[in-house]
Amino acid sequence: MKMTGAQAVVKALELEGVDLLFGYPGGAVTHIYDALYRSNIHHVLVRNEQGAAHAANGYARATGKVGVCIATSGPGATNMITGIATAYMDSIPIVAITGQVPLSMIGRDVFQEADITGATEPFTKHSYLVKDVKDIPRIFKEAFYLASTGRPGPVLIDIPKDVAMDTLFFEYPSQINLRGYKPTYEGHPGQIKRMSKAIIDSRRPVICVGGGAVSSNATDEIIELAEAIKAPVASTLMGIGAFPGDHSLSLGFLGQHGVYAANKAVAEADLLILLGARMGDRATGEARKFAPEAKVIHLDIDPAEIGKNIEIDIPIVGDIKTSLRQLLKKNISRHDWGWISKVSRWKERVEGVGKCTQGLNPMDIIRKLSDMVPEDTILVTDVGQHQMWAGRYYKTKKPRSFLSSGGLGTMGYGLPAALGAKLGCRDKEVILIIGDGGLQMSLGELATIVQENAKVKIMILNNGYLGMVRELQQQLHEERYYQTRMKGNPDFVKLGSAYGIKSFRVERQEKIISGIRQLLEWQGPIIGEFIIDPSANVIPVSRGEDDETNIRDIS
């Protein structure tokens, strides 16, 4: 069929099953927008292009499908960079489409020109600058394939305006031939065998799940493994939800800001099984001292992650679900040796946030929220103290239900990501926990939430500070709280009302439960502002020098 490049873009999106995309129009993409106007794809107009990428991210994580975002050339594209980098660090499949100035003008610094493929090179899985309209079908086919297979990630397609206006005979390829891209899905049988032997020989095994366990949809296999080998399961921030947080073998959130039981169990383990966890610095503390007694098995689809951050004894390249299925065919049951009961005792130690006299206790709020939400609730966080508290005190029961910017730590992620998650899963409760700082980074997207009637439940934990930095200033800079007090904060209840969003404030301890109930019961977008004690910290003060879990150092 003969059509324009712009029509080919929309046709390709339709053939990839895209029914929703997030974007912001501009001069270089008007032809694509005109083609979208004639299609059934729902376009969500965000208020800043960064929000489009974060929303696509939230959509992708909640649904498991590829998220799509679109922006114009120049500032539209550069605004999107933070969102693309966020998706890259967390291995989230998104396809970002940007307009570009006409091919003949490229390189002349014309109006709204930016080298976006160049600028995003370090944090895209792959990128394309379309130079020939005939390449559009192939490039879109490849882009969706690349974004969603192997280790997922963002793919960028930059389309010059004249290419979008040019015509082609549209034929969508059925096959993909990428010589340089052949992900390994099956684990090497010899390595799987070594893994099973190491498991049988172990006395104190611990499993650690990461974001790869979520994207591989391996929850059932991980539960089966943990129960078969009687191993407790810790989780990195990105892995939260890959193993049910309410399972008796769940240890919770591992790392510098993680919980005692998870860190203690890893420190004592003689076998550590890493499943799609890249063991970043926040998860390990000082890598040298991490899991000092353990033999380490690392199963990951990305060979470059194996051995990058910590030393590995048994590397296995493969998809987690596929490889665990291979493993589970073997006899791997082992005697418990009292390990589980020992671990259970560590789980009883709960480190709080300190005494809260000047406001509500955030741990209290999050634990109550955790107890009250429906099981399949999707919790979205922004970045900062509230994110770590959510990681520590909220029990995520299902995979793809804890969305947070783990790798890049992007403030401003939460609100648009919650929007994307809600539009992808309208039937699920989507709750956003966010700080007063982070909310103001993407504030404009409140309008998008209203525009789409996205029933996102927004819980603001307001301490009037950039709390995470304030905590660092307390610990490292003798309490010189400089540039962390958020002077000039708006009245968030009035602000919400100005957007037409039902909003309320909770200041008293005894109103926490009714506040949460109001959030859950309201049939529409709603803001609940909880005034918390600014002195509440993430790193428990009780964590002393004698703590052997290697989680003291923060930076």
* Shortest separation between residue 224's beta carbon and another protein, angstroms: 23
Three-state SS for 210?
coil
* Closest C-alpha among 551, 553, 456 to residue 264: 551
Q: Which listed residue (7, 11, 16, 49) is catalytic? A: 49
* Closest C-alpha among 255, 225, 224, 227 to residue 239: 255
CB 114 within 8 A of CB 81: no
Report CA-CA distances (Å) from 211 to 117, 216, 277, 326, 473: 26, 9, 6, 21, 30
112 an active-site residue?
yes
Q: Quick one: 75 or 307, whose CB is closer to another protein?
A: 307
* Shortest separation between residue 308's beta carbon and another protein, angstroms: 7
Q: Which listed residue (112, 451, 474, 518) is catalytic? A: 112
* Shortest separation between residue 136's beta carbon and another protein, angstroms: 16
Exposed / middle / buried, residue 135 (Cβ in 10 Å: 0-12, 13-18, 19+):
middle
Q: Provide the CA 432 distance to its chain's centre, in angstroms.
A: 13
468 an active-site residue?
yes
Instruction: Give φ, ψ of 205 to 5 degrees.
Output: -80, 145
Q: Quick one: 33 or 145, whose CB is closer to another protein?
A: 145
Q: Quick one: 129 or 231, whose CB is closer to another protein?
A: 129
Contacting residues toward another protein, per CB under 8 A = 117-118, 121-122, 125-126, 129, 146, 178-184, 187-188, 190-191, 302-304, 306-308, 311-313, 315-317
Rounded-to-integer distance, Cα 153 and Cα 87, Å: 6
* Closest C-alpha among 308, 230, 238 to residue 269: 230
Q: Quick one: 64 or 303, whose CB is closer to another protein?
A: 303
DSSP letter for each residue of 278-294: ---HHHHSSGGGSSTT-
358 an active-site residue?
no
49 an active-site residue?
yes
Q: Quick one: 35 or 277, whose CB is closer to another protein?
A: 277
Three-state SS for 198?
helix
Q: Quick one: 190 or 374, whose CB is closer to another protein?
A: 190
Instruction: Give φ, ψ of 274 to 5 degrees.
Output: -95, 125
238 an active-site residue?
no
* Shortest separation between residue 127's beta carbon and another protein, angstroms: 9
Q: Quick one: 287 or 493, whose CB is closer to another protein?
A: 287
* Shortest separation between residue 126's beta carbon and another protein, angstroms: 4
Q: Which listed residue (161, 347, 395, 428) is catalytic? A: 161
* Closest C-alpha among 153, 195, 230 to residue 320: 195
Rounded-to-integer distance, Cα 198 and Cα 219, Å: 22
* Closest C-alpha among 355, 281, 389 to residue 541: 355
Q: Which listed residue (50, 385, 468, 471) is catalytic? A: 468
What are the start-end ranges of the H helices in 90-148? 116-119, 136-148
Q: Which residues of 401-413 are buried (b: 16+ CB within 10 A; e: fewer)?
A: bbbbbbbbbbbbb
* Closest C-alpha among 209, 208, 213, 183 to residue 320: 213
Q: Which two tokens stand for residue 139?
A: 């490039």
* Shortest separation between residue 194's beta carbon and another protein, angstroms: 9
* Shortest separation between residue 201's beta carbon and another protein, angstroms: 17
Q: Quick one: 91 or 219, whose CB is closer to another protein?
A: 91
* Shortest separation between residue 513's beta carbon and another protein, angstroms: 49
Known catalytic residues? 49, 111-112, 161, 468
